[in-house]
Chains A and B, each alone.
Chain A
């Protein structure tokens, strides 16, 4: 029998008082450094949405004029993730920049192999931030690890003057300024801030859909004070990102007891020691979700989490484990709810676990959609078009 733990039951805590926050507000120190001529602070462009972070502080989320810091794993192996983020921006009519003057944050490699160091990691981050500032768009970070790592870099740059001087010197050799964004913003925070606008454009009723949420470790465990919390959701005890979107779209949040566990990605493990990854992902996450919430879909907001939770299920199914939950990002879920094409936009054919039951329950005719996609692929193959364009997907 499916049971739900009503998240209303946890609505007991008052809004936290930022005056009593256990950690200083790093943005104040950033502006002091700017005042001292040490760096430039890239201001969040208006209009922006104000959201609340863990200790009650306000964080500005820009609506548009965003510079999309893409994710290695999203673009490489689950490209419907990035495509859905862009589609959502276009659907709202927002101006954005999809840069080619952007590298990976390289943190996946750093956390996997340690073949780097603090100065190099800061250098990579500040090069990307400078590139965004140069073209006048505000960085928005697609990857949870990039987001967490960049917040760590910000701590290090702010608190260690030697490192700051070293990186400033490197930027100077590259012909760039030392620029730090006023806020480090994850795309899922933008999704969170835009969730009610998405709901206004929703075309499918999701009231019969249950989604379990896996929060990405590097989103809320690294520099935890900067993640979005909401006293009206889980009593402010858990990050509200993703779960609030599910509620806004009218679906149910299916709770489960291993919410705080990681997915098992492991950085090096997913690539070279995957028996650990598979075991953890299925035994500690998917099987527990299935047993306790039996969701129609699992939503998360990071590259590694989507990959790990989705791909790990194939081998487990071969062993008759209690798995079989489709996995996608919050952005893909929102886009589907708003009528995005499941293949041309959300690119679900790159995913492993069967998602067709979910689409049917949402009211999406996936069989017709697949025929439409294959027709477009055939046009590309015949040379009638070189690429699928945004016009081809209606935004």
Chain B
């Protein structure tokens, strides 16, 4: 059975080697999650080492506005500092903008790619922090998974985007007319970005089903999982599929 290391070398005096704020989570569980991150086929392409040069931090938009550092993410991964990685998986990764400006790394690391993997494992294992980070976002997950388009024109409502000015109200009030005043025939939609065939949606649902995405949704939001599953099953059954 794996045990916590007594001491590990660190070049960063600010790094945490103690269990920190997640002392209640067993080290073995943190190690299991880290092993899951490393098992992803993409992991070796995202981490080669770290010069500590900080170029990634200089390029990072999130580092300017949050207590967040792509260098620390990379350093913790390179050192396999399981305690710190778990802390980051909970407290840091959702600050990342996923712009991949950090890909400018002279060692060819992709801190943003590492964060994608850390997030994915956090979601797959239903970490409380991932549920919290995705609160308020679930309607978007529902939209993309059921309609095959991420945002729809009818989401432009003043109460959802008060900081976007009065133009949002104008769009929402004229929505149907203004959508019909678009020359491309595929854009006369209000509840999805463009017209998507039902057959196409069924194929998308099958992709979600065959790749375990529905299981991930169940981990972060059981209610959302049930709603999406209802939509998918009804459509697939009508089309003659059995899942």
A residues apposed to B, CB below 8 Å: 70-77, 79, 82-83, 86-87, 98-104, 106, 108-120, 123-124, 127, 131, 148, 155-156, 159-160, 162-163, 166, 170, 173-174, 217-218, 221-222, 224, 260-262, 264-269, 271-272, 274, 276, 278-280, 284, 311, 314-315, 344-345, 347, 349-352, 373, 376-377, 380-381, 386-390, 392-393
Contact = CB atoms under 8 A, between A and B. Distances in A.
Main secondary structure of the interface of B (DSSP, over half): helix
A387 B185 contact: yes
B103 A222 contact: yes
Nearest to B138: A113
Contact of A352 (B40, B141, B165, B187): B165
Q: Ordered nearest first, which 6 A-B pairs have the shortest CB separation?
A: A103-B148, A114-B119, A314-B165, A72-B150, A262-B99, A120-B211
Given A77-B156, A103-B148, A280-B64, A160 B41 contact: yes
A224 B170 CA distance: 39
Interface residues of B, number: 83
A160 B40 CA distance: 11
Given A284-B61, A387-B183, 9 more contacts: A77-B153, A100-B195, A112-B140, A113-B141, A117-B120, A131-B200, A159-B45, A314-B163, A388-B182
A162 B206 CA distance: 19
A347 B144 contact: no
Contacts of A279: 65
B153 A217 contact: no
B196 A271 contact: no
Specify which of A99, A115, A380 lies most central, judged by the most chain B CB atoms within 10 Å of its CB. A115
Contacts, number: 253
A106 B212 CA distance: 15
Contact of B99 (A76, A162, A217, A347): A217
Contacts of B167: 349-352
Contacts of A381: 177
20 contacts: A71-B193, A75-B194, A76-B193, A98-B184, A101-B200, A102-B194, A104-B148, A109-B140, A109-B141, A117-B212, A217-B100, A218-B99, A221-B103, A224-B103, A266-B97, A315-B163, A349-B170, A352-B164, A377-B178, A387-B185
